Chain A
Amino acid sequence: MPDRRISALAHRTPLQAGDGALSLAERPQVAMRGLRVDAKAANRALKKTKGLALPETPNTSRHTEGVHILWLGPDEWLFLGEVDAVHALRDRLGDGLAQIHHQLLDVRDQNAVIALSGKRAREALMKLTTLDLHPGVFRPGDVAGSLFGRATATLHLLETYDPERDPEFLLIVRRSYADYLWCVLARAGREFGLPDQTPKAGEIMRP
């Protein structure tokens, strides 16, 4: 049922700067699960579940079996990946945690995932966030929740990225803020060649 699902940014097409310095695209196929659980208890319970340890270092992530496990808080993680991989992991996770108090939720529709990549990606993002995105500071696998322009989002530098190549960032944002964030990111990339994007507008407002 492909045309039934309409992702938050389905009305936008991927953008690319002429020289590949920057590109912007939605990742509508990414599935997401939110997990809240006590870290120690969970990792004890998951010991038998191969490869399924939750990262306990703040603002980091782990990549396992095609799924990125993002640390969001001391007792909160986000699982993010292709639908099949996330589903497979969810089932194993559910089994592993069955005996302990936890909350595992589908948050795929709750969020939009925007990928920003290219050699100017860090610079473009630093127009919107006060996070230090210097390559020596914000490294592959790092995660941070912050304000981007006027929208709260989670920033993730894919750990699969090769430092020799250009970084690929994911921004995970509540779907109702996605269009704003898309446009403000395009504005940040204007200098590097991204075309201007106008937010949805023009509604008739009540007097």
Chain B
Amino acid sequence: MTEQPFRMARGGFIDRKRRVTFRFDGRSFSGYEGDTLASALLAAGEHMVARSFKYHRPRGILGSGSEDPAALVQVGSGLAATEPNVRVTEQEIYEGLEVHPQNCWPSLKYDIGVVNDLFSAFLPAGFYYKTFMGPPGSWGVFESFIRKAAGLGLCPQEPDPDDYESLNRHCDVLVCGGGPAGLMAALTAARSGARVILAEETARLGGQLLSSDPEHLRVDGLAPAEWVEKIDAELRGFEEAMVLTRTTVCGYYADNFVALWERVSDHVAPGERDPVVPRQRLWRIRAKRVVLATGAIERPLVFHGNDRPGVMLARAARTYANRYGVLPGRKAVLFTNNDQAWRTAVTLHDAGADVPAIVDVRHEVRGSLLDQAASRNITVHLGTVVTGSSGRHRLRDVTVRALDGSGGVTGGETRIACDLLAVSGGLTPNVALFSQSRGRLVYDDALAAFRPGQSWQKEVSVGACNGTMSLEDSLSEATCRTVDVMKEVGLKAKPLKVPSISGSEFSSGAISALWEVPSGLPAKKVRAFVDLQSDVAAKDLRLAVAEGYDSVEHAKRYTTVGMGTDQGKTSSMNAFGVLSQARGVTMTELGVTTYRQPYKPVTFGALAGQHVGKLFQPRRTTPMHDWHVANGAVFDPVGDWLRPWVYRREGETHEDALMRECRAARESCAVLDASTLGKIDVRGPDAREFLNRVYTNAWSKIRSGQCRYGLMLGEDGMVMDDGVTACISDDHFHMTTTTGGAARVLGWLEDYLQTEWPDLKVYLTSVTEQWAVASICGPESGKLVAALCDGVDADPETFPFMSWKETAVDGVPARIFRVSFTGELSFEINVPADYGLWLWERIMETGAAHGIVPYGTEAMHLLRAEKGFIIVGQDTDGTVTPIDLRMGRIVKKKGDFIGKRSLFRSDTARANRKQLVGLLTDDPDVVLREGAHLIATSSEPAPPVPMLGHVTSSYMSPNIGRSIALALVQSGGERMGERLYATRADGPPVPVTVTETDFLAQREGADA
């Protein structure tokens, strides 16, 4: 026996000169370049490739493309580059390909899990729901068993080593599907000069043309593949046409936004893949028009024993013979309810197979079909059905009986030996994308299937996916409808001359719908599967209806029919048929389940694209960043920004470093990179009025050279942002915001200017990144600033608090603001950002004589807490008013501002709201937990515990020499000196005393 005993002597689009070896289930196989795993395994005579999801029943190869429900395998070895649930009908083989069966142990053929099948009576439809709803704990009992026993492939355990990419394109027309209709549509569009993208799911253009008999069918006098090549060559000649193969249109979204998934190098051995090309691409297409040419999917017939390996869709059998040169069986029986499938019997017979019988459920068929069978000595059984099959891992024979005319079978049973049963229950237009686009489906009796009805988006369906099954009609429809589409986008197009067809085999013929084939067996014994992946039998669907799951959507979820990785491509239509009969309603009344994106499973890698790892998210850094890195900074992510958190010296702990930085800020001098602070340039004759309206305090009298602190409220009266604004000139201000609030505040202010106050003459522009800012703090900072800046007298008398000066640092223009977030003497030096690093290095150099220490955000937080300054977002949480912060002094009485009216709502105006206070623990070494709740009693009473407030900020302060905390406490302002208790999880409540928030002032008071 040769290694490919079922390979035909010739035919197929495979390269017989290039032999490819691969491994499956621990054995070595060979095929040719151009083979899929399925065609190569079939060439070796292997039909059984998998075990089913629930019952571990043997699963063979049913289809020949993405429609196949259950022929799933694990591709690749190792913990990273392995992929589960790959369809053997889609994976192309390459040298060294490693394939493993999944959901079976110890091996595919001898699988322990098959016991599930024996217990199938105990795993009925809705099994999960029944255990959920059953006695308490029953799901817990079953869960571990089910998780182990039911399943598909294994997830990779390690990070994906491959590269992916997403990219965007616009086009006039996107053609989905590279079969005859798609080719015709694409060529019609391309000739009109349109921007065309043609996406074909498989490796080759041609679709069903490649599955047809090359000896028989002629398109414009050419063999099908020759015609395809001619069209392909012409298409590729157009600059504006793009042809993508191995590309699935996986999602149709709003406004003709369509996602395409291209497997760029999955067909190439990993070692031979181009390292600069991604493994897969996700194309995000915005198409003016979409032409759907996705063809039809053959559906199987639902009969007892229909899931045995060796049972194959009739068109798939034809595909293996004509496209891959593989005879899927030597002794083939055809079981059908329609004309087109008869071609399979003819093809297989002519390819050398013995065809002992054609079993057709119809009592009458066209004479030409009978003639074709008769001329080949094929026995035809009309009005007859297959009632069962046998064979352990592979079909051995089928039994057939005659239909009795009233839904049952009659007469004797005929057993026919065979190794292949080609089945066809008719062709279902592949309407998944149409339906994803929200188009409405209509039931077509002649097709016994749904086809596209009313469109929702700008697309057209052409060819078999539109229910147009004959090749001639399909080609003509494709070109004519594309011409219409071209006109809609303003391009002139002419319909192409429809090629002359001879020997066509595409006619669907008069179909006789038979949703479930009678077997003559007692109902309990019938195993007629609708969904071969999820192991859903026809009786499960009937049970769902009997248990009240009438809606097709409910029945689907209850039984899991069509919910597998195949999305019900071969099963949904049959399920609808069984359900409509069980309920006694028409298909139209029954309706369909919703088709959702994606059309088939797409790897997460492709969806993430190139935006992974170090390119996952931008990290914003300041001009001084490299210095921070070189000097031991540990970083704090603030929004997208990285800010130094603390600078740790050799041998220091975090606490050591923090205390050192905080002490320097009050004892000598320290410098903070404050470049991330939001900055907005405010300009215009109405700028003051604008500031009056957006801040709670008054701005009318501020003079140029002065600065002022302001609180910004939301319309609800709650504190939203704060910052210092400097008056540059009468109509010109420099506003600062919090780092995190910068973008939001600018958007909010711009929104107000454009929509609420268009009468105000004010322009705003963000200058956050125009300026690099070094904030120097500490008693020595004045001397340092004087040393740094050209001609600046830093004497507090002449350069008072809350003022600013235009100056220069060694000739570099600078703005210096004498503002402070620490309560200490401070100067913020602003220079154009390109000079930021230079400035910083100069500060460190000049500052060395003054004992300069760089400090980070943690020290900054601590220092401001010593002074009792708030941090918006830490001491406030969107429910805190300025009055709550006891900052009522900067809320003006006269004049309006955003949020003012909300301050007079009964709830915001009541006296017993939570207010910001300081807390000092009795034990100065105890640092409260931020978030700790405050209560009035020394021990925690039984719940519900009456809570008075919570700690918002808490630190060990080196300058105060003890722990300090800020808290929001009910009526806090009236509780000065009061004893409260802070709860904790790991001990009794901590006694604390309510104080003012300015701890520095308290210390000075105590010192004096």
Judging by beta carbons under 8 Å apart, are A191 and B277 in contact? yes
Q: In the assembly, what is the distance between CA of A176 and CA of B742, in Å?
A: 14
Give every chain B residue within 8 A of A200 (Cβ-Cβ).
619, 621, 625
Give every chain B residue within 8 A of A184 (Cβ-Cβ).
610-611, 615
Give every chain A residue within 8 A of B771 (Cβ-Cβ).
109
Give every chain B residue within 8 A of A137 (Cβ-Cβ).
170
Give every chain B residue within 8 A of A134 (Cβ-Cβ).
170, 195
Judging by beta carbons under 8 Å apart, are B812 and A4 in contact? yes
Determine if B166 is an interface residue (Cβ-Cβ < 8 Å). yes
Determine if A205 is an interface residue (Cβ-Cβ < 8 Å). yes
Judging by beta carbons under 8 Å apart, are A109 and B833 in contact? yes
Query: Given that A103-B765, A174-B769, A206-B634 are known contacts, is A130 also in contact with B168, CB under 8 Å in the complex?
Result: yes
Give every chain B residue within 8 A of A66 (Cβ-Cβ).
none
Determine if B629 is an interface residue (Cβ-Cβ < 8 Å). yes
Q: In the assembly, what is the distance between CA of A174 and CA of B641, in Å?
A: 13
Residue of A nearest to B614 (CB): A199
Query: Given that A101-B684, A101-B685, A206-B636 are known contacts, is A130 also in contact with B833, CB under 8 Å in the complex?
Result: no
A 102-136 binary contact with B (CB < 8 Å = 1; else 0): 11011111110000000000000011011110100
With an 8 Å Cβ cutoff, the count of chain A residues facing the other chain is 56
Give every chain B residue within 8 A of A131 (Cβ-Cβ).
168
Smallest distance from the beta carbon of A80 to chain B beta carbons, Å?
15
Judging by beta carbons under 8 Å apart, are B286 and A5 in contact? no
Give every chain A residue within 8 A of B614 (Cβ-Cβ).
183, 198-199, 201
Determine if B86 is an interface residue (Cβ-Cβ < 8 Å). no
Residue of A nearest to B842 (CB): A4
Q: In the assembly, what is the distance between CA of A110 and CA of B681, in Å?
A: 13
Q: In the assembly, what is the distance between CA of A193 and CA of B838, in Å?
A: 35
Q: In the assembly, what is the distance between CA of A115 and CA of B634, in Å?
A: 33
Judging by beta carbons under 8 Å apart, are B625 and A187 in contact? no
Give every chain A residue within 8 A of B832 (Cβ-Cβ).
106, 108-109
Residue of A nearest to B809 (CB): A4
Judging by beta carbons under 8 Å apart, are B276 and A180 in contact? no
Give every chain B residue within 8 A of A3 (Cβ-Cβ).
838
Give every chain A residue within 8 A of B646 (Cβ-Cβ).
206
Q: In the assembly, what is the distance between CA of A6 and CA of B626, in Å?
A: 12
Query: Given that A105-B765, A126-B168, A127-B167 are known contacts, is A199 also in contact with B833, CB under 8 Å in the complex?
Result: no
Query: Given that A103-B765, A127-B165 are known contacts, is A132 also in contact with B170, CB under 8 Å in the complex?
Result: yes
Determine if B498 is an interface residue (Cβ-Cβ < 8 Å). no
Determine if A96 is an interface residue (Cβ-Cβ < 8 Å). no
Determine if B763 is an interface residue (Cβ-Cβ < 8 Å). yes
Determine if B371 is an interface residue (Cβ-Cβ < 8 Å). no
Q: Which of A1-34 contact B (CB under 8 A)?
A: 1, 3-8, 11, 34
Give every chain A residue within 8 A of B811 (Cβ-Cβ).
1
Q: Which of A7, A8, A37, A199 has the most CB of B within 10 A?
A: A199
Smallest distance from the beta carbon of A5 to chain B beta carbons, Å?
4
Determine if A92 is an interface residue (Cβ-Cβ < 8 Å). no
Q: In the assembly, what is the distance between CA of A74 and CA of B835, in Å?
A: 32
Q: How large is the interface on B (under 10, 10 to 19, 20 to 34, 35 or more residues)?
A: 35 or more
Query: Given that A6-B838, A109-B769, A110-B833 are known contacts, is A151 also in contact with B635, CB under 8 Å in the complex?
Result: no
Judging by beta carbons under 8 Å apart, are B761 and A101 in contact? yes
Q: In the assembly, what is the distance between CA of A4 and CA of B769, in Å?
A: 17
Give every chain A residue within 8 A of B168 (Cβ-Cβ).
126-127, 129-131
Residue of B nearest to A184 (CB): B615
Residue of B nearest to A174 (CB): B769
Smallest distance from the beta carbon of A67 to chain B beta carbons, Å?
19
Determine if A90 is an interface residue (Cβ-Cβ < 8 Å). no
Judging by beta carbons under 8 Å apart, are B284 and A130 in contact? yes
Determine if B943 is an interface residue (Cβ-Cβ < 8 Å). no
Contact of B769 among A34, A105, A110, A187 (CB under 8 A): A110
Give every chain A residue within 8 A of B169 (Cβ-Cβ).
126
Determine if A87 is an interface residue (Cβ-Cβ < 8 Å). no
Give every chain A residue within 8 A of B812 (Cβ-Cβ).
1, 4
Determine if B637 is an interface residue (Cβ-Cβ < 8 Å). yes
Judging by beta carbons under 8 Å apart, are B276 and A191 in contact? yes
Give every chain A residue within 8 A of B635 (Cβ-Cβ).
203-206
Determine if B683 is an interface residue (Cβ-Cβ < 8 Å). yes
Give every chain A residue within 8 A of B765 (Cβ-Cβ).
34, 36, 103, 105, 107
Q: In the assembly, what is the distance between CA of A151 and CA of B629, in Å?
A: 23
Q: Which of A154-207 contact B (CB under 8 A)?
A: 174-177, 179-181, 183-184, 187-188, 190-191, 193, 198-206
Determine if A47 is an interface residue (Cβ-Cβ < 8 Å). no
Q: Which of B165, B166, B763 has the most CB of A within 10 A?
A: B763
Judging by beta carbons under 8 Å apart, are A149 and B611 in contact? yes
Q: In the assembly, what is the distance between CA of A177 and CA of B743, in Å?
A: 14
Judging by beta carbons under 8 Å apart, are A199 and B619 in contact? yes
Judging by beta carbons under 8 Å apart, are B621 and A103 in contact? no
Give every chain A residue within 8 A of B271 (Cβ-Cβ).
none
Smallest distance from the beta carbon of B694 to chain A beta carbons, Å?
17
Determine if A44 is an interface residue (Cβ-Cβ < 8 Å). no
Determine if A40 is an interface residue (Cβ-Cβ < 8 Å). no
Determine if B837 is an interface residue (Cβ-Cβ < 8 Å). yes
Query: Given that A127-B610, A150-B618 are known contacts, is A105 also in contact with B685, CB under 8 Å in the complex?
Result: no
Smallest distance from the beta carbon of B837 to chain A beta carbons, Å?
5
Smallest distance from the beta carbon of B251 to chain A beta carbons, Å?
15
Give every chain B residue within 8 A of A181 (Cβ-Cβ).
618
Q: Which of B248-282 contact A (CB under 8 A)?
A: 276-278
Smallest distance from the beta carbon of A155 to chain B beta carbons, Å?
13
Judging by beta carbons under 8 Å apart, are B837 and A6 in contact? yes
B 750-793 binary contact with A (CB < 8 Å = 1; else 0): 00000000000101111111111000000000000000000000
Give every chain B residue within 8 A of A130 (Cβ-Cβ).
168, 284, 286
Judging by beta carbons under 8 Å apart, are B615 and A190 in contact? no
Give every chain B residue within 8 A of A199 (Cβ-Cβ).
614-615, 619
Judging by beta carbons under 8 Å apart, are A103 and B615 in contact? no
B 433-476 binary contact with A (CB < 8 Å = 1; else 0): 00000000000000000000000000000000000000000000
Determine if B3 is an interface residue (Cβ-Cβ < 8 Å). no
Give every chain B residue within 8 A of A205 (Cβ-Cβ).
634-637
Q: Which of B276, B615, B684 has the most CB of A within 10 A?
A: B615
Q: In the assembly, what is the distance between CA of A3 and CA of B838, in Å?
A: 8
Give every chain B residue within 8 A of A6 (Cβ-Cβ).
623, 834-838
Q: In the assembly, what is the distance between CA of A198 and CA of B613, in Å?
A: 10
Q: Which of A126, A176, A183 has the most CB of B within 10 A?
A: A176
Q: In the assembly, what is the distance between CA of A130 and CA of B255, in Å?
A: 14
Smallest distance from the beta carbon of A15 to chain B beta carbons, Å?
14
Determine if B633 is an interface residue (Cβ-Cβ < 8 Å). yes
Q: In the assembly, what is the distance between CA of A131 and CA of B169, in Å?
A: 8
Contact of B833 among A34, A175, A193, A202 (CB under 8 A): A175
Judging by beta carbons under 8 Å apart, are A7 and B618 in contact? no
Determine if B496 is an interface residue (Cβ-Cβ < 8 Å). no
Q: Which of B678-705 contact A (CB under 8 A)?
A: 681, 683-685
B 625-644 binary contact with A (CB < 8 Å = 1; else 0): 11001000111110011100
Judging by beta carbons under 8 Å apart, are A190 and B170 in contact? no
Q: In the assembly, what is the distance between CA of A187 and CA of B191, in Å?
A: 35
Residue of B nearest to A177 (CB): B618
Residue of A nearest to B834 (CB): A5
Give every chain A residue within 8 A of B764 (Cβ-Cβ).
36
Q: What are 27 contact pairs spanning A and B, CB under 8 A? A: A1-B812, A4-B812, A4-B835, A8-B623, A36-B764, A101-B763, A102-B683, A103-B684, A107-B767, A109-B833, A130-B168, A130-B286, A132-B170, A149-B618, A176-B620, A176-B621, A176-B640, A179-B621, A181-B618, A199-B615, A200-B621, A200-B625, A201-B619, A204-B633, A204-B634, A206-B636, A206-B646
A-B interface, 9 closest residue pairs, ranked by CB to CB distance from nearest: A176-B620, A180-B618, A103-B763, A109-B833, A110-B770, A132-B170, A103-B683, A36-B763, A5-B834
Q: A37-B763, A109-B772, A127-B610 are in contact. List 8 more A-B contacts (CB 8 A).
A: A105-B765, A108-B834, A110-B770, A150-B611, A175-B833, A176-B621, A176-B640, A203-B629
Binding site for A on B (CB under 8 A): 165-170, 195, 276-278, 284, 286, 610-611, 614-615, 617-623, 625-626, 629, 633-637, 640-642, 645-646, 681, 683-685, 761, 763-772, 811-812, 832-838
